């Protein structure tokens, strides 16, 4: 008999974290699941660690090994052999609260529901633990393409997705090495509704490997996904309105500029301003950040030292 939930974890050089992710699966109070780990060409001992920590899951665990192809191709490989009605996507460096699956499945009664997400707790390298806001656009319920435009990110490791919906869409788009989740959310929003469990049930780890990635490339991919979606769905574009879409994308960039500036990620901050110029975006908020960008990096850092400000991510 097939399990109701198939849990898919893409794995790439995550030997330090995979045991905690598997432990979060093992502790689920909902027990009708299978676990599929897809090794995407790891060069460390991720596979050996995974095999060790799943030794007690005989009959419920499958390991797929493939050449490195990126996150979307790894997820698609797992989904292709999944037997469950629902696909629970998580990452090898994140973990769940024990009641996550049970509470998500309880929210799937509406037959139009294609995805359920949860509240999330961020874990930072400096030891900070920050439960994220769960109000407003963070909830994203019902038919919510418009809400996806608001500058708030769903937590990808939190999502539970109907397998038939993924099959209808052809899975993840492998052209998105970044922002494959954003692309998926928009495409799902055209064929069904979302549900939200307003509890912090997903733990999202932020570590050096993530911080080294280019945030601007992620943002470029995010905007490409939005534009591509509305090109394919002109009726939805018309319903929402071109002005709303444009204003929302500008707000997204303003939000990221604020974060990068106060983190003193000044190279990325300036690169993102250049992307705003390329996109022909303008607003009073962007003008404010352009004025700040007139100061050279050394002057900004000198001001930090003079005022005793310590740069770093804002919670």
Q: How confident is the model over 43-102, as pLDDT tens digits?
A: 999 999 999 999 999 899 999 999 999 999 999 999 999 999 999 999 999 999 999 999
For 255, the domain range is 241-307
One domain for residues 252 and 197: no
CATH assignment of the domain containing 27 = 3.90.550.10
Rounded CA separation 279/120 (Å): 32
Q: How many domains does the chain fold into?
A: 2
Identify whether residues 165 and 288 lie together within a single domain.
no
Q: Is the residue at 228 inside a domain?
A: no
What pLDDT, on the 0 to 100 scale, is given for residue 175?
95
226, part of any domain: no
Same domain? For 153 and 301 the reply is no
Report the pLDDT averaged over residues 172-200. Answer: 96
pLDDT value at position 210?
Answer: 56
Interval 31-53 mean pLDDT: 97
Token duo for residue 307:
């005022």
Domain end marker among 192, 211, 230 = 211
pLDDT exceeds 60 at position 310: no
SS3 at position 36? strand
Does 233 fall in a domain? no
**pLDDT score recorded for residue 209:** 62
**Rounded mean pLDDT of the chain?**
93
Give the count of alpha carbons within 13 A of 214, CB side only. 14
What per-residue confidence (pLDDT) applies to 313?
43
User: From start to end of the chain, where are the E strands?
Assistant: 5-11, 33-40, 61-66, 86-89, 95-96, 113-123, 129-131, 160-162, 193-205
Res 208: pLDDT: 66
pLDDT at 159 over 70: yes
Last residue of a domain, one of 195, 211, 227: 211
Q: What is the 3-state secondary structure (H, E, C) of 62-119?
A: EEEEECCCCHHHHHHHHHHHCCCCEEEECCCCCEECCCHHHHHHCCCCCCCEEEEEEE
Query: What predicted TM-score, i.e. pTM, was given to this entire model?
Result: 0.92
Residue 227 covered by a domain? no
């Amino acid at each position: 008999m097939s399990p109701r939930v198939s849990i898919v974890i893409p794995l790439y050089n995550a030997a330090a974290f995979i045991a905690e992710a598997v432990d979060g699966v093992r502790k689920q109070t909902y027990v009708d699941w299978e676990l599929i780990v897809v090794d995407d060409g790891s060069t460390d001992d991720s596979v050996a660690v995974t095999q060790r920590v799943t030794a007690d899951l005989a009959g419920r665990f499958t390991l797929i090994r493939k050449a490195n192809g990126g996150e979307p191709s790894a997820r698609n490989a797992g989904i292709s052999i999944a037997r469950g009605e629902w696909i629970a996507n998580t990452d090898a460096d994140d973990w769940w609260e024990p009641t996550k699956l049970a509470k998500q499945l309880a929210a799937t009664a509406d037959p139009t529901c294609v995805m359920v997400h949860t509240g999330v707790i961020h874990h930072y390298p400096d030891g900070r633990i920050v439960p994220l806001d769960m109000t407003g656009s963070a909830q994203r319920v019902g038919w919510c393409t418009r809400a996806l435009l608001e500058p708030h990110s769903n937590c990808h490791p939190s999502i539970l997705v109907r397998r038939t919906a993924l099959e209808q869409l052809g899975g993840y788009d492998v052209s998105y090495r970044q922002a494959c989740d954003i692309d998926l959310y928009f495409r799902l929003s055209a064929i069904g509704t979302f549900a939200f469990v307003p509890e912090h049930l997903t733990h999202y780890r932020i570590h050096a490997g993530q911080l080294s990635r280019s945030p601007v490339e992620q943002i470029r991919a995010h905007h490409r996904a939005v534009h591509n979606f509305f090109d394919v769905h002109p009726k939805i574009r018309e319903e929402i309105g071109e002005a709303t879409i444009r204003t929302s994308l500008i707000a997204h960039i303003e939000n990221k500029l604020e974060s990068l500036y106060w983190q003193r990620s000044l190279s990325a901050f300036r690169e993102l301003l250049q992307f705003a110029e390329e996109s022909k975006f303008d607003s009073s908020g962007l003008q404010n950040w352009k004025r700040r960008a007139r100061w050279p990096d050394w002057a900004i850092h000198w001001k930090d030292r003079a005022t005793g400000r310590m740069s770093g991510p804002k919670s």
